[in-house]
């Protein structure tokens, strides 16, 4: 399994350095240059997620033994943490680039759902946290519980590659408005396509706005409305639930430990990039079975 991880990280670095964040011709700033180039730092961040190490301090202690043969020079924990926060936009751009490289990008089908990102559980955390500008109190209807955090909206392909995502305050922007904003600012597919979602996206306003963009929302009928003409593919709803579970549990998004908005965005982008990189690598290597990410953590 170590060989598989080495191949993924090497291929990812080559493509990022060639197409997304090239190091050649980059202007040099003042002071001592960082130990890792942006592309190298992004690959180290992906390795951290795939090896299931949620804490940066612990990761810097074990990284030399796990990926030291690929990166002989590694930064200190504080340097890595600062660079990781600064690379949030670059990692989200890299995740979007990888999503366009998989064959399912061209399939006319997308899945959409939102999930809460918990940022604190105590009143002291709520009062002292720097996440107040993006986090607030919301209702997690799936678990019938209130939470303090942000709302993550995801749009994915059928095989799990994330083609668009956004983060919003749960009180200031409801689920439907957040979805419409995401559809307006992100190119989620090569062209108009049907989007499978749940009952939370019901409403004539959002369906018309999505139709104006060329997208057809497919959702189950609510109890207070007649059965819809289009049959609802319930198995696809289970698929995006599995994608969310992979991000939050298997890839550690539920344990993000972020304390600042830029750090939260960076850690979300880091997990989504790792997910897209694993799917992209499976397609590139023509893996007969699209294995789960547990194959890389041994």
Q: How many CB atoms lie within 10 A of CB 66?
A: 16
Distance (Å) of CA 283 to CA 100, 240, 258, 265, 277 = 12, 19, 32, 27, 10
pLDDT (0 to 100) of residue 33: 77
pLDDT per residue of the chain (298 residues) written in tens, 0 to 9:
456 899 999 999 999 999 998 876 566 666 677 889 999 999 999 999 999 999 999 999 999 999 999 999 999 999 999 999 999 999 999 999 999 999 999 999 999 999 999 998 787 878 778 888 899 888 887 777 889 999 999 999 999 999 999 999 998 888 999 999 999 999 999 999 999 999 889 888 999 999 999 999 998 888 777 766 667 788 888 899 999 999 999 999 999 989 899 999 999 999 999 999 999 999 999 886 555 454 455 4
For residue 7, being part of any structural domain is answered with: no
pLDDT of residue 230: 65
The answer as to whether 74 is a domain residue is no
Kindly list the distances between the CA atom of residue 221 and the CA atoms of 97, 175, 180, 201, 235, in Å, as whole numbers in the listed order. Answer: 35, 18, 20, 11, 16
Helices then strands, counting H and E runs in the chain, come out as 10, 6
In a domain, 151, yes or no: yes
Identify each DSSP E strand in the chain by its residue range: 110-120, 136-140, 145-156, 162-168, 194-196, 216-218
pLDDT of residue 32: 73
Say what the pLDDT of residue 3 is: 62
State the pLDDT at residue 1. 43
Give, for 177, the enclosing helix (H) or strand (E).
helix 175-185
* In a domain? residue 20: no
Helix (H) or strand (E) holding 238: helix 234-245
Q: How many CB atoms lie within 10 A of CB 295?
A: 15
Question: Looking at residue 242, which CATH number applies to its domain?
Answer: 3.30.420.10
Cα–Cα distance for residue pair 267/251, rounded to 1 Å: 10
- pTM comes to 0.92
Determine, yes or no, domain membership for 197: yes
The pLDDT value given to residue 97: 97
Cβ count near 129 (within 10 Å)? 16
118 belongs to a structural domain:
yes
Domain count, the chain: 1
250 within domain boundaries: yes
Residue 228 lies in a domain: yes
| Residue range of the domain that includes 194 | 105-258
């Amino acid at each position: 399994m170590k060989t598989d991880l080495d191949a993924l990280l090497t291929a990812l670095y080559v493509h990022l350095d060639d197409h997304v964040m090239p190091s050649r011709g980059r202007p040099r700033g003042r002071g001592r240059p960082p130990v890792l180039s942006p592309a190298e730092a992004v690959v180290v961040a992906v390795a951290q997620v795939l090896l299931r190490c949620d804490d940066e301090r612990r990761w810097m202690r074990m990284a030399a033994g796990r990926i030291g043969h690929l990166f002989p020079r590694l930064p200190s924990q504080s340097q890595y943490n600062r660079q990781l926060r600064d690379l949030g936009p670059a990692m989200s751009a890299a995740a979007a680039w990888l999503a366009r490289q998989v064959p399912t990008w061209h399939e006319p089908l997308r899945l959409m759902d939102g999930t809460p990102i918990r940022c604190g559980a105590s009143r002291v955390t709520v009062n002292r946290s720097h996440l107040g500008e993006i986090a607030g109190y919301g209702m997690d209807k799936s678990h019938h519980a209130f939470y303090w955090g942000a709302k993550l909206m995801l749009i994915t392909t059928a095989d799990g590659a994330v083609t668009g995502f956004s983060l919003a305050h749960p009180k200031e922007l409801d689920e439907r408005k957040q979805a419409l904003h995401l559809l307006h600012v992100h190119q989620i597919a090569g062209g108009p396509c049907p989007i499978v979602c749940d009952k939370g996206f019901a409403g004539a306003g959002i369906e018309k706005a999505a139709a104006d963009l060329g997208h057809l929302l497919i959702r189950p009928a609510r109890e207070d409305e007649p059965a819809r003409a289009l049959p609802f593919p319930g198995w696809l709803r289970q698929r995006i639930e599995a994608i969310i579970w992979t991000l939050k549990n298997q890839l550690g998004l539920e344990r993000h430990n972020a304390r600042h908005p830029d750090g939260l965005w960076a850690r979300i982008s880091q997990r989504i990039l790792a997910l897209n990189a694993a799917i992209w690598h499976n397609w590139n290597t023509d893996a007969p079975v699209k294995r789960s990410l547990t194959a890389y953590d041994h």
